[in-house]
Structure 1
Amino acid sequence: MPPSEKNNTTLNFPRFMKFLHKITGLLQIWAALFIFLALLILFLPAQTGKPLCLIFFMLNGSFIIVLLSWVKSIKLVMKETGLIVSNSKDLMWAMDSRLNATFICGDPEHISGKNAMALLNKPLASILPEDARDRFNTLIGENQPFSMECLISKGENSTLPVEILAEPIQGSGQDTFHGIIRDISDQKKLQALKKELNSSKKLKNLGDLAGSVAHDLNNSLAGIATYPEILLMDDTLSPKIRASLDIIKESGQNASAVVSDLLTISRGIREECQLLNINTIIKRFMAAPEFEKIKTAYGKVDIEMHLEPELLTISGSYRHIEKSIMHLVINALEETAATAGRGNGTIVLSTANHYVDSEKDGYTQQNLSPGEYVMLEVLDAGKGIPEDCLNKIFDPFFTKKKMGRSGSGLGLTLVKNTVLDHQGEIFVASDENGTKFTLLFPALRSELPTTSQPTSIEEIRGKGETLLVVDDLASQRKIAQTILKNLGYKVFSVADGIQALDFIMQTPVDLLILDMVMAPSISGLETYKRIKKIRPSQKAILASGHSESEDVLKALSIGAGAFVKKPYTILDMGIAVKEELNR
């Protein structure tokens, strides 16, 4: 429908029309007088007043011309204003002392879902939600100009953010207020984009900071996180010393996990994806000794699992998805335990195959492509997340916990970033009965490989193969040498890439363990490139305190076998060495 037709019941402009009616009335009177004078001029003799009538006749004609020009101008203004108003997406209104709408123009259907006739002579506040309606009427009662924002419902599952601008009309007769109701959805989207941009900038700054300290910090943590594990291999240690070493090792690993989370959040997942089954990750996590410690800390909170036996596979990072599950489960345990008084609550973990339909599925609102997905849900029995916190829970360092309590404020940020890096999406639903996190990952119909990784030290022992550790830090060389010698390898070490080249020229080795950052000498990537020119079939694994960088990816592309992130465990290093030697 054309705009002029759509709004033709609303473009009457009452004040213009009243003024126009008055001018038209005057015009009719003066037209009658004009005809009367014309008749007098025709029939009166000259000596009885014809000259005087002629003067009045001319003046009257001039006044009629002026009145006609006024009418023409007013109609032109009304037409032009009508065109502007009829193409506006705003709703312009006036109302009387009873708060009923007396004048509606613009695009009421866009704003309220109702046409103008449905709004006229009815309370204007009726189109507002109840809480906004009370606020609107209160502000009207103050008889001062005001503005307010609210959401207007336009039907099922459809709301529109609007701004209401209003001011009183002085000396207007029946109308007391007029104003505009304006669609501000574009402004809200712009604000959200600005917020997202600011968040991205913060994450970039966080990434720059984390990247600048991660290498040195992880190298330092290796002595705390890894060396206790070496000492624990000594069977003669007393239980008291063994317990102390366990505490040191756990503290170092926790600190390393925070650095790793920072790098993941700021730089994304950079490790090679593999075929995974989320059910398997959940079961392994639940069976781990670390999880038993976590669960014990939260009293009698029960965990129910409803896992789809025919769950589809996904392509992803085992470590990051396991961490996401861990953060969600710990969060659910904390919320449920706090509500249930450290007991008698239940959290539910469930998985399912889910098909996203572009026409019927609400998940498509988040720009998920139609298709098959693996769904992971974690439901707690807590008191829910306050509405004003729902849009903040994924922000870095946001936490509802008191200072000094568990949690760095990175857990849910890591979860969201992990899901997005896997081309999936995360959804949150929360009320007074608890909170449910729903994660969707793109599904594959591929069978998992049947190979399994070693789980004990005995499975990763070497057979006297020769290894060369290349690292610029003496402490790192010492840790790597000790681990690998205890695993049955013959180990040498050098402090930089140039020394490594000289060593390889003289003594062939079965495997290199290369640090990637060895300033001021040549990097691990450059070292490996030069060694490959001498020995094209040389095997190597990479070790670094950074996450997977461009140099790491390039080294992997030219033949390096694996990347081991510092600080590593004995099992991490042992598996990487064993697999590369057997490749």
Structure 2
Amino acid sequence: DRGDQDRFYLDSRQMLKSKTPHTYQLKMVTQEGAVFDARIQGEARDYNNHTLCLRIGVVDISAQVQTAAALKESNAQLEQTLAELKDTQQRIVQQERLAAVGQLAAGIAHDFNNILTSIIGFSTLLKSSPEMPPKFQTELTFIFDAGQRAARLVQQILDFSRKTIRQPETFDLVDFITEAVRFLRYTLPETIQVSHVLNSDRCMIYADRNQLHQLLTNLAINARDAMPSGGTLKIALSCTTLQPGSVAACPELPAGKWAILSVADTGTGIPPGILPRIYEPFFTTKPAGQGAGLGLSQVYGIVKQYGGCVDVASKWGRGTTFTIYLPLQQGREAPPEPLTAAEYPLGTGEFILLVEDDAAVRQACRAMLKQLNYQVFTAINGQDALTVFLKHRAEISLVLTDIVMPVMDGPALLKELKILAPEVNVVMMTGYPLMEKTSKFLEDGVFDWLHKPISFGQLAQVIHRALKS
């Protein structure tokens, strides 16, 4: 090598000039042309004060160099393995934290939903009571609306932290986006202005509301983190007819009617080198503890479940826009208009066994059932309910029970009831997110379930269907 030759001559001249020993390493070539690693040990000597000689020793250290290189490579691999192990451990810890947060959120939701069942239930009864003076109707409406807002807030918090069984329904995205924007304005910092543009009067899709809440929440959180000093978050919705290949970023979209939802921020933007990886699970550019790297992968997964597409456009330092394409509902009827209180189906004096451990919820549900013209037996847990059921078995037409109770819970009560009276219909109610348990309850013989806080109309319709089945 020319560089090694130059170094040999320069070092040799330096040793002759300084008369100091010197050791260094370079590559040399044998007479046969084989290249080897050599350690050069040189020393200048003065003979008889007038003859200057250079003594050079050459040691073949190829084996040591190869061993050192192998050790270095092994060390690098070990460091990489340790780094991957550490990253895996951090992901596991983060997932455990997320699971703990979800469990905590579920517990808090249960308590709040019990409280809200009483607030919403009693305010509804008072509003519909002919004995209530008209001057109190406005105040009661404020109480009822506040309870409903609180119930929506609890539900939206749960949407972010739980995995739910998909429960698609036909609903209007226009109303959905309007409600979601209210939620975002409440939860995002005041330094972020949230605006929305609705370019369609009606935009019906068939999807799971919870999943779309999670989708919007994830995008909003990303936008918030990209605007630490504040900015603008703009959500736009339109419905249009697309032709094949009309969306360059989503050539797989078939022709048809589509909802186009865009979420744009004025934040820092996404560096071009990172854009191809943003949908990878656990990929994040945020500091440790500030993101699990799952938000955009969830967005991508949800959109793909409905046969849609997600596109992103970003300019570094100027902001990011996510555009989501979802198919409009085809061949499905729009949901019926909600019933008014006067249209709620009434009972004909049937007896219902109400099982609930929370006294306030029990009292609220009992009052609503009586208002719907049902007669009510009450019990505080499953064991108490069995005693009441055995005593009034011939009279009881339906059992309405909470799921989580002390002594004997709802599932244990259900099992006993199906042995004693397989024909009796059971409706369950809960303040917890049901998640995968929903399917199992239905398989075990539950007719339907009510999610707290229970509304008057929801209670009326589910009980009516159960009794008529």
Cα distance change, pair 265–445 in 1 and its aligned pair in 2 (3 A): closer
Cα distance change, pair 575–540 in 1 and its aligned pair in 2 (3 A): same
Instruction: Return the alpha-carbon distance in structure 1 between the equivalents of residues 97 and 259 of structure 2.
Output: 30
Shift in Å at residue 525 of structure 1?
Answer: 0.9
Shift in Å at residue 206 of structure 1?
Answer: 1.1
Shift in Å at residue 195 of structure 1?
Answer: 5.3
What does residue 498 of structure 1 align with? Answer: 383
* Aligned with residue 398 of structure 2, among 511, 518, 526: 511
Task: Give the letter aligned to residue 211 of structure 1.
Answer: A
* Aligned with residue 576 of structure 1, among 456, 462, 466: 462
Shift in Å at residue 228 of structure 1?
Answer: 1.8
SS of corresponding position for 1:510: strand
Shift in Å at residue 461 of structure 1?
Answer: 1.8
Once the two structures are superposed, the pairs formed by residues 260-339 of structure 1 within 5 Å of their partners are 260-270=155-165, 273-274=167-168, 276-277=169-170, 280-285=171-176, 303-305=197-199, 316-321=207-212
Q: In 2, are the aligned partners of 1:542 and 1:563 still within 8 Å (CA)?
A: yes
SS of corresponding position for 2:199: strand
Identity of aligned residues (%): 20
Judging by fraction of residues, say which structure has more strand.
2
* Aligned with residue 215 of structure 1, among 103, 110, 121: 110
Once the two structures are superposed, the pairs formed by residues 482-493 of structure 1 within 5 Å of their partners are 482-493=367-378
Instruction: Return the alpha-carbon distance in structure 1 between the equivalents of residues 467 and 222 of structure 2.
Output: 41
Q: Which runs of 5+ in 2 are unaligned?
A: 13-30, 32-53, 187-191, 272-277, 279-283
Task: State whether structure 2 residue 341 is matched by structure 1 residue 457.
Answer: yes
Provide Cα deviations, 1:518-546, integer angstroms capped at 9, x if missing partner.
Answer: 202x1111111111122212112110111
Instruction: Return the alpha-carbon distance in structure 2 between the equivalents of residues 397 and 477 of structure 1.
Output: 41
Shift in Å at residue 450 of structure 1?
Answer: 7.2
Provide Cα deviations, 1:134-160, integer angstroms capped at 9, x if missing partner.
Answer: xxxxxxxxxxxxxxxxxxxxxxxxxxx
Task: Give the letter aligned to residue 232 of structure 1.
Answer: K
What does residue 92 of structure 2 align with? Answer: 197
RMSD: 5.7
Cα distance change, pair 299–16 in 1 and its aligned pair in 2 (3 A): closer
Task: Give the letter aligned to residue 451 of structure 2.
Answer: K
Shift in Å at residue 514 of structure 1?
Answer: 1.0
Provide Cα deviations, 1:15-43, integer angstroms capped at 9, x if missing partner.
Answer: 487339989xxxxxxx9xxxxxxxxxxxx
Greater RCO between the two (CA within 8 Å, min separation 6)? 2
Q: Bigger radius of gyration, 1 or 2?
A: 1
Shift in Å at residue 467 of structure 1?
Answer: 2.3
Instruction: Return the alpha-carbon distance in structure 1 between the equivalents of residues 213 and 339 of structure 2.
Output: 17
Cα distance change, pair 291–477 in 1 and its aligned pair in 2 (3 A): same
Q: In 2, are the aligned partners of 1:472 and 1:495 still within 8 Å (CA)?
A: yes
Instruction: Return the alpha-carbon distance in structure 2 between the equivalents of residues 230 and 484 of structure 1.
Output: 10
Instruction: Return the alpha-carbon distance in structure 2 between the equivalents of residues 397 and 486 of structure 1.
Output: 50
Task: State whether structure 2 residue 266 is matched by structure 1 residue 383.
Answer: yes
Q: In 2, are the aligned partners of 1:223 and 1:475 still within 8 Å (CA)?
A: yes
Shift in Å at residue 282 of structure 1?
Answer: 0.5
Task: Give the letter aligned to residue 229 of structure 1.
Answer: T
Once the two structures are superposed, the pairs formed by residues 86-105 of structure 1 within 5 Å of their partners are none
Cα distance change, pair 325–477 in 1 and its aligned pair in 2 (3 A): same
SS of corresponding position for 1:499: helix
What does residue 534 of structure 1 align with? Answer: 420
Task: State whether structure 2 residue 140 is matched by structure 1 residue 248.
Answer: no
Instruction: Return the alpha-carbon distance in structure 2 between the equivalents of residues 515 and 212 of structure 1.
Output: 15
Shift in Å at residue 232 of structure 1?
Answer: 1.9
SS of corresponding position for 1:542: strand
Q: In 1, are the aligned partners of 2:160 and 2:214 still within 8 Å (CA)?
A: no
SS of corresponding position for 1:226: helix
Shift in Å at residue 287 of structure 1?
Answer: 8.1
Cα distance change, pair 339–582 in 1 and its aligned pair in 2 (3 A): same
Q: In 2, are the aligned partners of 1:385 and 1:430 still within 8 Å (CA)?
A: no
Instruction: Return the alpha-carbon distance in structure 2 between the equivalents of residues 579 and 414 of structure 1.
Output: 39
Q: In 2, are the aligned partners of 1:282 and 1:322 still within 8 Å (CA)?
A: no
Instruction: Return the alpha-carbon distance in structure 2 between the equivalents of residues 347 and 76 of structure 1.
Output: 66
Task: Give the letter aligned to residue 318 of structure 1.
Answer: R
Instruction: Return the alpha-carbon distance in structure 1 between the equivalents of residues 363 and 84 of structure 2.
Output: 55
* Aligned with residue 473 of structure 1, among 353, 358, 361: 358
Instruction: Return the alpha-carbon distance in structure 2 between the equivalents of residues 476 and 392 of structure 1.
Output: 46
TM-score, length-normalised on structure 2?
A: 0.62
Instruction: Return the alpha-carbon distance in structure 2 between the equivalents of residues 416 and 243 of structure 1.
Output: 45
Shift in Å at residue 548 of structure 1?
Answer: 0.5
SS of corresponding position for 1:384: coil
Provide Cα deviations, 1:441-488, integer angstroms capped at 9, x if missing partner.
Answer: 7x7997436774743333432231432211122211211122222233
SS of corresponding position for 1:572: helix
Instruction: Return the alpha-carbon distance in structure 2 between the equivalents of residues 241 and 289 of structure 1.
Output: 30
Instruction: Return the alpha-carbon distance in structure 1 between the equivalents of residues 453 and 384 of structure 2.
Output: 24
Instruction: Return the alpha-carbon distance in structure 2 between the equivalents of residues 488 and 290 of structure 1.
Output: 39
Once the two structures are superposed, the pairs formed by residues 77-92 of structure 1 within 5 Å of their partners are none
Judging by fraction of residues, say which structure has more helix.
1
SS of corresponding position for 1:232: helix
Provide Cα deviations, 1:358-389, integer angstroms capped at 9, x if missing partner.
Answer: xx99789xxxxx89898752234x5335669x
Task: State whether structure 2 residue 7 is matched by structure 1 residue 18.
Answer: yes
Instruction: Return the alpha-carbon distance in structure 1 between the equivalents of residues 287 and 129 of structure 2.
Output: 44
Q: In 2, are the aligned partners of 1:265 and 1:417 still within 8 Å (CA)?
A: no
Shift in Å at residue 231 of structure 1?
Answer: 1.8
TM-score, length-normalised on structure 1?
A: 0.52
SS of corresponding position for 2:339: coil
Instruction: Return the alpha-carbon distance in structure 1 between the equivalents of residues 287 and 465 of structure 2.
Output: 37
Cα distance change, pair 187–571 in 1 and its aligned pair in 2 (3 A): farther
Q: In 2, are the aligned partners of 1:525 and 1:554 still within 8 Å (CA)?
A: no
Shift in Å at residue 556 of structure 1?
Answer: 1.8
Instruction: Return the alpha-carbon distance in structure 1 between the equivalents of residues 250 and 80 of structure 2.
Output: 21
Instruction: Return the alpha-carbon distance in structure 2 between the equivalents of residues 510 and 574 of structure 1.
Output: 15
Q: Which runs of 5+ in 1 are unaligned?
A: 1-11, 24-30, 32-62, 91-181, 365-369, 399-411
Task: State whether structure 2 residue 442 is matched by structure 1 residue 556.
Answer: yes
SS of corresponding position for 2:128: coil
Provide Cα deviations, 1:213-243, integer angstroms capped at 9, x if missing partner.
Answer: 4333322232234322222223564566333
